[in-house]
Amino acid sequence: MAILKEAVIPLNRMLFINKDGNLKIDDLVVETEGQYQLLERPDCFVVKNDDCCRSIKVVVKTRD
């Protein structure tokens, strides 16, 4: 697994991950300490902090 992005997402904020090559939403593994939403846009993936009260730490990796 390769780490694409590691960050702390503040309350009600988003983390954007650029699409590289043929990367699909099913190829991503999200490790986090809180609730989140994973969305796909034409040019990027979006991890949205969906926790009601705090920032969350997020690590986004690719599947092997």
Residue 22 corresponds to which tokens in the numbers above? 């043929």
Confidence check: pLDDT of 17 > 90:
yes
Task: Report pTM.
Answer: 0.86
Rounded to an integer, what distance in angstroms lies between the CA atom of residue 32 and that of residue 51? 11
- Other beta carbons within 10 angstroms of residue 20's beta carbon come to 8
Average pLDDT, the chain: 93
* Length in residues, the chain: 64
Confidence of residue 12 (pLDDT cuts 50, 70, 90): confident
Rounded to an integer, what distance in angstroms lies between the CA atom of residue 11 and that of residue 9? 7
Looking at the DSSP bridge assignments, the partners of residue 3 are 61
**What confidence score (pLDDT) does residue 54 get?**
94
